Structure 1
Amino acid sequence: MSTDVNPPRLDPSERHVRIPSPRTGLSLFLRHLPPTLPQTGEKRVVLYVHGGTFPSALSIAHRFDGRSWRDELADAGYHVWALDFHGFGRFSDPYPEFERPAEGMAPLGRAEEASQQLEAAVRHICAEQKVDRISLIAHSWGTMVSGLFAGRCPELVDRLVFFGPIARRDPTGERVQLPGWRPISLKDQWDRFTETVPAGEKPVLLKRHFDEWGELYLDVDPESRTRSPAAVKVPSGAFQDIFDAWVGEFAYDPALVKAPVAFIRGEWDRMSGEADARWLFEAFSSSPVRRNVTIGRGTHLMHLEASRYALYRETEAFLASRDTAPEAV
């Protein structure tokens, strides 16, 4: 008997593309939303790179009260693409190792491997859109994947927006070793939305919005509702990369990145704190243009919260600007 009681539905307003994965025998899924109105002049193309627990359908493409971040970017004149890494969502092929017990297995989906998947997606998009380079919007662990790729392939990257970016921290404890994959429940996700909001402050996410989002979240794994509590299986590599960064083992060299970059974080984001933003700003020493932006009343999941429109506007402003480093005097 099938457990797939709520198979996810593809948005009919978007195009769907499958490309070969760098991992032999697997394919990757891309979604594309073109600009709302016909464009003239320079073609603007952006690719969204998701974080470590849910795919693009539940982030840039998810509509709260009928409106998504992707809709905003399309209205601003962008071709908006999004990639789902292996193991996230239902449309990129899952890791075959998902069928095995997680214990005793190395964490699946580490940043280096994911950066190869990202490179395959960017090269496909550049060829299809007939552009030399594109911009990236990346969240959380996705900033590490994007940093690796941007340092390795600077000629393919126009501008970078990193929100909730992960930074290297000085070691304060022992290194954590995660299994190959792990289940993430609705309670785990709800806690991520609420645990850093100061006592007495209004919620950053409406409960009705979370309830709607949560059902769609469970839908991305056909076996999620067979677990107790209901939970989605995700690769552990993302959080292994994050935990390693917090004991001084960073996945990439920020000095290799040569594209303009904006770091955007919410004031209540503990995974990407003020000290993290300062470290990243200094570490991206080869970037000709750097911005550090803090948005009030935002947590690590700001793109799904009440302050999301501030994130949208800051992102659009940076992507649309053509500023360069000032000439030396």
Structure 2
Amino acid sequence: MTSDAVAQKLDPREEHFHIPGPRPGLSLFLRFLPAMKGEFKPRRAVLYLHGATFASALSVAYRFGDEHPDERSSDTQSWRDALNDAGFDVWGLDFYGFGHSDRYPEMSQPAADNPPLCVAEDAAQQLNAAVQFILGRQRLEQLSLISHSWGSMPACLFAAAHPARIDRLVLFAPIGRRGPRRYETPAALPAWRIVTPRDQWTRFTEDVPEHEKPVLSRAHFAEWSQRYLDSDPESRCRDPAGVKTPLGPFSEIIKAWHGQLAYDPARVRAPVAIIRGEWDGLMLDDDARRLFDGFGQSPVKRDIKIGRGTHLMHLEMMRAALWRESISFLRGDDVASVP
């Protein structure tokens, strides 16, 4: 059940925690990087929630070409580094079945024997355990959330249920609701699937228009894909090599596109920023408009679209623009006083 890979420290200052989760006997993994400069008093913490196929080490904390983490340059900076430099303490949560959190027992059984694992309601309970731990350890009243893709679903479920604990929400490339399809219902999916580097390369490239230059190099992806295989100790025992991944997130993306979004945006009362790339095939303009309008109780809302970015912009050439927009929103100085 437990991932037996040792979690690599991606920064010499990084701290790791295994905490109890909502399922008895299964632990959740948190990575923490405190800010070097105390710009905020009290300190401000940000928790990152990953998407459907890869965890925190390969997203918010990933540095391309980083051979010397204690001598990093702007070319190898991660999103976490940028947040850190802006004064935020940064946490990353791996949901059950991902990264260095424990695997569901059902992941050792045939995929067809169980329903999709790690649905949003389950993940929101995991998030609750993580937030309680973080706030208690740092003696804070609230924190901000950054989510990617499907991660927006547990993020918004939690924010709606616990408004006092959430400062601000950054929804990067969130999944939105689309109208129900007539005479069609989502197909039943198994508990898990194997995702290969080739599958990931397809996702990284399929939304870039044919006449445009690549937004991610083959060399950078080759490096990233090896770290991706490292996230599952058994990945290289398979042919082809691949990572066993819970299918709950993907099942809920499909349901959202059939009119069944896992949460009600109208119940979220925190300031919200939707940040997306112009080539994001999973978050279209109509999706973003509908989602933006749905956050009716949010006192501050942003819909930010960045050129030359796809659904995976946090690892692409325009990632620095994503980082800047998220930091600007999280600072919270975007509302002027009324004279």
TM-score by length of 1: 0.95
Change beyond 3 A, Cα 1:98–1:317? same
CA distance in 1, matches of 2:14, 2:249: 27
Secondary structure in structure 1 of the residue aligned to 2:36: coil
The equivalent of 1:29 in structure 2 is: 29
Q: CA deviation at 1:230?
A: 1.1
Question: In structure 1, which of residues 75, 81, 84 is the aligned counterpart of residue 85 of structure 2?
Answer: 75
CA distance in 2, matches of 1:275, 1:31: 35
Return 5+ residue gaps in structure 2 as ranges: 66-75
Q: CA deviation at 1:299?
A: 0.4
Q: How big is each residue's C-alpha offset from its partner over 1:190-234, in whole Å with a ceiling of 9 and x where there is no partner?
A: 000111100110101011110000000001111111222211001
Q: CA deviation at 1:156?
A: 0.5
Q: Which amino acid is the alignment partner of residue 88 of structure 1?
A: F
The equivalent of 2:69 in structure 1 is: none
Q: Which amino acid is the alignment partner of residue 156 of structure 2?
A: G
The equivalent of 1:266 in structure 2 is: 277
The equivalent of 1:102 in structure 2 is: 111
CA distance in 2, matches of 1:211, 1:195: 17
CA distance in 1, matches of 2:335, 2:158: 22
Whether 1:233 aligns to 2:232 is: no
Whether 1:136 aligns to 2:166 is: no
Whether 1:243 aligns to 2:243 is: no
- Check the 8 A contact 1:46/1:135 in 2, yes or no: yes
The equivalent of 1:18 in structure 2 is: 18
CA distance in 2, matches of 1:275, 1:178: 27
Q: Which amino acid is the alignment partner of residue 19 of structure 1?
A: I
Q: How big is each residue's C-alpha offset from its partner over 1:28-63, in whole Å with a ceiling of 9 and x where there is no partner?
A: 111100112244523111000000100000000110
Secondary structure in structure 1 of the residue aligned to 2:37: coil
Q: CA deviation at 1:104?
A: 3.1
Q: Which amino acid is the alignment partner of residue 270 of structure 1?
A: G
Structure 1 vs Structure 2 CA RMSD = 1.7
Return 5+ residue gaps in structure 1 as ranges: none
CA distance in 1, matches of 2:213, 2:242: 27
- Check the 8 A contact 2:98/2:245 in 1, yes or no: yes
Question: In structure 1, which of residues 150, 153, 156 is the aligned counterpart of residue 162 of structure 2?
Answer: 153
CA distance in 2, matches of 1:257, 1:7: 37
Percentage of pairs with the same residue = 55
Q: How does 1:193-204 map to 2 (within 5 A)?
A: 193-204=204-215
Whether 1:167 aligns to 2:176 is: yes
- Check the 8 A contact 1:176/1:244 in 2, yes or no: no
Q: Which amino acid is the alignment partner of residue 75 of structure 1?
A: D
- Check the 8 A contact 1:29/1:84 in 2, yes or no: yes
The equivalent of 2:73 in structure 1 is: none
Q: How does 1:318-329 map to 2 (within 5 A)?
A: 318-324=329-335
- Check the 8 A contact 1:261/1:289 in 2, yes or no: yes
Question: In structure 1, which of residues 189, 200, 222 is the aligned counterpart of residue 200 of structure 2?
Answer: 189
Question: In structure 2, which of residues 109, 126, 129 is the aligned counterpart of residue 120 of structure 1?
Answer: 129
TM-score by length of 2: 0.92
Number of paired residues? Answer: 323
Q: Which amino acid is the alignment partner of residue 22 of structure 1?
A: P
CA distance in 2, matches of 1:251, 1:229: 33
Q: CA deviation at 1:324?
A: 4.9
Q: How big is each residue's C-alpha offset from its partner over 1:110-155, in whole Å with a ceiling of 9 and x where there is no partner?
A: 0000000001111111111111110000000000110111011111
- Check the 8 A contact 1:45/1:135 in 2, yes or no: yes
- Check the 8 A contact 1:107/1:240 in 2, yes or no: yes
- Check the 8 A contact 2:40/2:87 in 1, yes or no: no
